[in-house]
Amino acid sequence: MSELNYSEDTSGHLFRQSITTLPRISDKRGRLFAKLGIETVGDLIWLMPRSYNDWSRRVPVGRLVEGDVATFEAVIENVPSLTRRGKLSYIRARLGDDTGSIRAVWFNQPWLGDQLRRGDRYIFRGKIEGSGRSRSVNTPEIRAIDDESPAFIPVYPLTAGLNQATVRQAISTVFSNHDIALTESLPAKIRIDYRLSTADYALRRIHAPESEHDIEVARRRLAFEELFLLMAGLRYMKLGRREEHGPAMKLTEEVLELLKKRMERLPYKLTPSQETAIASILNDFRQPYPGNRLLQGDVGSGKTVVAAMAMAVAAWSGFQSVMMAPTTILATQHAESVTSILEGSGLRIALLTGGMAPSRKRLLTDSLADGEIDILIGTHAVIEQDIRFAKLGCCVTDEQHRFGVRQRVKLSGEGDVIPHTLVMSATPIPRTLALILYGDLDITEMKDMPSGRQAVKTYTARSEDRSRIDRLMEREINLGHQVFVVCPMIEESPELDIQSAASVHERLSRLVFPDRRIALMHGKLKASEKSKVMRDFDQGDIDILVSTTVIEVGIDQPNATLLIVENAERFGLSQLHQLRGRVG
DSSP 266-313: SSSPPPHHHHHHHHHHHHHHHSSS--EEEEEE-TTS-HHHHHHHHHHH
pLDDT range class, residue 584, cuts 50, 70, 90? low
Whether the per-residue pLDDT at 270 is higher than 50: the answer is: yes
pTM of the prediction? 0.61
pLDDT over threshold 90, residue 34 = yes
What are the tens digits of pLDDT across the range 286-301?
Answer: 999 998 898 888 777 8
Please indicate whether the domains covering 56-149 and 463-580 agree at the CATH topology level. no
Distant-in-sequence, close-in-space partners of 230: CB < 8 Å, separation ≥ 6: 2, 436, 439
Confidence class of residue 363 from pLDDT cuts 50, 70 and 90? very high
**In the predicted model, what is the mean pLDDT of the chain?**
86
Q: What percent of the chain has pLDDT over 70?
A: 88
Give the separation between CA 210 and CA 213, rounded to whole angstroms. Answer: 8
Please state the rounded mean pLDDT for residues 156-179: 92
Residues 328-341: pLDDT tens digits? 878 888 899 999 99
Region 354-373 average pLDDT: 90
What is the average pLDDT across 238-255? Answer: 86
Question: How many CB atoms sit inside 10 A of residue 577's CB?
Answer: 16
441-463 pLDDT tens trace: 888 888 877 766 666 778 888 87
φ, ψ (nearest 5 deg) of residue 474: -60, -40
Confidence of residue 117 (pLDDT cuts 50, 70, 90): very high
Q: Give the tens place of pLDDT for each residue, 420-446.
A: 989 888 766 666 666 666 667 888 888
Exposed, middle or buried: residue 51 (CB in 10 Å: 0-12, 13-18, 19+)? exposed
Q: How much is the pLDDT for 9?
A: 38
**Nearest-CA neighbor of 313 among 251, 371, 245?**
251
Which of these, 234, 276, 381, lies nearest to 322 by C-alpha position? 381
Within 10 Å of residue 145's Cβ, how many Cβ atoms? 9
Q: How far from each other are the two terminal CA atoms of the chain, in whole angstroms?
A: 43
What's the pLDDT score for residue 413?
Answer: 54
Question: Quick one: residue 110, left, alpha or beta (phi over 0 = left, psi -120 to 50 = alpha)?
Answer: alpha
Q: Tell me which CATH code domain 253-446 carries.
A: 3.40.50.300
Distance CA 227, CA 2 (A): 9
**463-580: CATH architecture:** 3-Layer(aba) Sandwich (3.40)
Give the pLDDT score at 406.
61
Domain boundaries, the chain: 8-51+154-232, 56-149, 253-446, 463-580
Burial (CB < 10 A; 0-12, 13-18, 19+), residue 525, is middle
Q: In one letter, which amino acid is 220? A: R
pLDDT tops 90 at residue 342: yes
Cα distances from 307 to residues 105, 394, 425, 464, in angstroms, run 66, 10, 12, 45
Q: Let me know: does 545 contact 509? Beta carbons within 8 Å.
A: no
User: Hey, what CATH class is 56-149 in?
Assistant: mainly beta
What's the pLDDT at 143?
96
Measured CA to CA, the distance from residue 304 to residue 336 in angstroms comes to 11
Q: Which residue has the higher pLDDT, 527 or 550?
A: 527
User: CA angle, 380 as apex, 375 and 382 as ends, to 5°?
Assistant: 35
According to the model, what pLDDT value does residue 232 have? 82
| pLDDT tens track for 6-18 | 433 355 678 889 9
3-state secondary structure 170-204: HHHHHHHHCCCCECCCCCHHHHHHCCCCCHHHHHH
Answer whether residue 227 shows pLDDT above 60.
yes
Rg of the chain over all Cα atoms, to the nearest angstrom: 32
Residue 253 has pLDDT above 80, yes or no: yes
Three-state DSSP state, 106: strand
Confidence of residue 552 (pLDDT cuts 50, 70, 90): very low
